[in-house]
């Protein structure tokens, strides 16, 4: 009986070490953990029904399980073959596909559940700084563009539309996202334009034109300038 209990504890410790290893070595695992904690805490903060909290917990842990499964497949594949193999690559892609599908499923569950609680909160937040006219959009984009040029000139790096600090594409993209959100007061339109803005920022990083900090600074500048101008013109 004592040996059985010790064996159970050893197995449990090994499982914990596996989770820790995946968290240490996989960047996506860290992101999934942060997202999971935020989702669960938000569900508790909003005092959701138990069934909604249960669905969220199941969803986030399914993503964590898929990520650990993917990591284990990658370790095993690298151990089996150090050289490139189409079959090994296919196995890794299949495991990554499992993570992608579970992530999409969890996002859909989270959106359906949280949208019921957050829709009106977002609506009234946008209403607080909404302005009456849409002509201000041209002014905002112009101010953002001029601001980016001034900052780039100060750092003497890059051109207005390529490279340097901060990212002009990110600044304009996130400025447009916030403007669409404020002018439409539609959370769905806000979400869709945010995804587009995020993809623009991500493409600047992946193409090697900007660093993450340059893109982050550009996006933040676009958001702050847009919010400030809309607030000043509020009546």
Residue pLDDT, tens place only, 143-182: 787 777 777 777 666 555 566 677 888 888 898 888 888 8
Q: Which residue has the higher pLDDT, 197 or 131?
A: 197
Q: Give the ranges where the chain is alpha helix by DSSP (H).
A: 2-25, 27-45, 50-80, 86-128, 136-155, 168-184, 187-206, 212-232
pLDDT for res 35: 82
| CA-to-CA separations, 77 to 95, 97, 134, in angstroms, rounded | 11, 16, 55
Give me the pLDDT at residue 38, please. Answer: 83
> What's the average model confidence in pLDDT over 104-133?
71
Give the pLDDT of residue 143. Answer: 78
pLDDT reading at 197 higher than 80: yes
Q: Give ∠ CA 92-96-98 in degrees, rounded to 5.
A: 120
Question: Which of 107, 178, 108 has its CA nearest to residue 141?
Answer: 178
pLDDT tens sequence across 211-229? 888 888 888 888 888 888 8
Domains and CATH numbers, the chain: 2-120 (1.10.287.3610), 136-232 (1.20.144.10)
Mean pLDDT in residue range 40-58: 83
Instruction: Tell me the whole-structure pTM to 2 decimals.
Output: 0.52
- pLDDT above 70 covers what percent of the chain? 82
pLDDT surpassing 50 at residue 235:
no
Confidence band, pLDDT 50/70/90 cuts, at residue 139: confident
């Amino acid at each position: 009986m004592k040996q059985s209990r010790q064996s159970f504890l050893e197995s449990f410790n090994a499982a914990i070490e596996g989770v820790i290893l995946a968290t240490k070595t996989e960047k996506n695992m860290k992101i999934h953990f942060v997202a999971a904690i935020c989702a669960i805490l938000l569900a508790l903060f909003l005092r959701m029904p138990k069934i909604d909290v249960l669905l969220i917990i199941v969803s986030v842990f399914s993503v964590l399980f898929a990520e650990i499964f993917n990591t284990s497949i990658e370790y095993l594949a690298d151990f089996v073959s150090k050289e490139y193999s189409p079959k090994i690559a296919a196995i890794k892609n299949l495991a990554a596909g499992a993570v992608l599908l579970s992530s999409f499923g969890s996002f859909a569950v989270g959106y359906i559940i949280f949208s019921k609680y957050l829709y009106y909160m977002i609506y009234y937040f946008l209403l607080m700084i909404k302005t009456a006219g849409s002509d201000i959009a041209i002014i905002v984009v112009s101010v953002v563009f001029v601001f980016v040029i001034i900052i780039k000139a100060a750092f003497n790096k890059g051109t207005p539309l390529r490279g340097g600090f901060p990212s002009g594409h990110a600044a304009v993209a996130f400025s447009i996202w916030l403007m669409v959100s404020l002018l439409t007061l539609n959370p769905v339109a806000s979400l869709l334009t945010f995804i587009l803005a995020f993809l623009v920022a991500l493409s600047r990083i992946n193409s090697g034109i900007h660093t993450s900090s340059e893109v982050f600074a550009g996006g933040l500048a676009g958001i702050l300038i847009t919010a400030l101008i809309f607030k000043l013109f509020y009546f």
